[in-house]
Structure 1
Amino acid sequence: MKLQEINKARYRNHLNKVIVGCIAALVVGSLGIAQGLIAVLPNEQGSHFHWNLAGVVISCLVIGSVLKKYKHHDFMTEVTYVWELKKQLNYITRKMRKLKAAVEEGDVIAMQIINYSYAGSRQLWQLDDNTITMEELSIWQAELDAKAREVNVILDSEKYDPQSLANY
């Protein structure tokens, strides 16, 4: 997955609309389905927990399938990109301890993976206005850059290959 420039205003606008739409669909769908099930299959004891739960589960499944179906729609471009970036960064984070150990041994591929992680995190945090840890990220990047200079490597986030993560 390659890093892309994202229009922050468009991303925030579309993300907010998707979130509001999902919340509204969950509320209306789960209540509607639950009430329909209660009307068709009433319980004499008055406990309708299982019908309410079924309404929530069915609504979540419908919302998930709609999001999956429309994830390639133009409206969802930025939102889908950020979701995929977060997923990719999560894969890297799970292997970060092994990657950092490999970097200490001079592993160039591990350096490129971590560089991609730092660049992706920086972009993600700027998009989400989460700049609290940007200072720490700058320190980590400087440490990685120093290690790359030691082994005479030029770091480039474009060189990241998700398949290479399987080696760690």
Structure 2
Amino acid sequence: MNTVTSTERTGVATFRGNPVTLLGPEVAVGDRAPDFTVLGRDMAPVRFASLSGTTRVISAVPSLETPVCDLQTRRFNEAVAELGETSVLTVSVDLPPAQARWCGAAGVEHVRTLSDHRDLSFGLAYGVVIKEIRLLARAVFVVDATDTVVHAEYVREVGQPADLDAAIDAARRAETARRSAGRSA
């Protein structure tokens, strides 16, 4: 496991009711979005910074193969149509072939699934690695076109759903601001 950070946070999340330790710093609204590199479905590296200039929703999930993660990813897939040019990224430690298989079976075509399995680059940068089980905690971040975090939610109980409506609203506002800035430039 890549240990680019020694930050350990306790008392902020549980998994199946048991306290867990999250590795990495807490990312908050107003912070500059940390860069990271993950793997795409084709096993090629994807650097977050390469997506700059657009609104991005980052949905962190433990595994696409679980009911709440499945629901969260499907909901974002449906929401993409109403979010303009916003990119929705679902990050898990599932291997890329498993992510591709799940997307095919679920009919998910608009969400980009990315694997943090190799280096935990995303998880450590955004403070969502569960130390005890090497999975990502459930969280949702919205990053605007200027790379500023405009929404951050760390779900206290990993098995519970995130507030998807709040994230979608934040993405909608960020996308509206991006389009308005483009017209006035």
**TM-score (ref. length: structure 2):** 0.23
- In our comparison, the structure showing a higher alpha carbon Rg is 1
Which structure has the higher relative contact order (CA within 8 Å, separation 6+)? 2
**TM-score (ref. length: structure 1):** 0.24
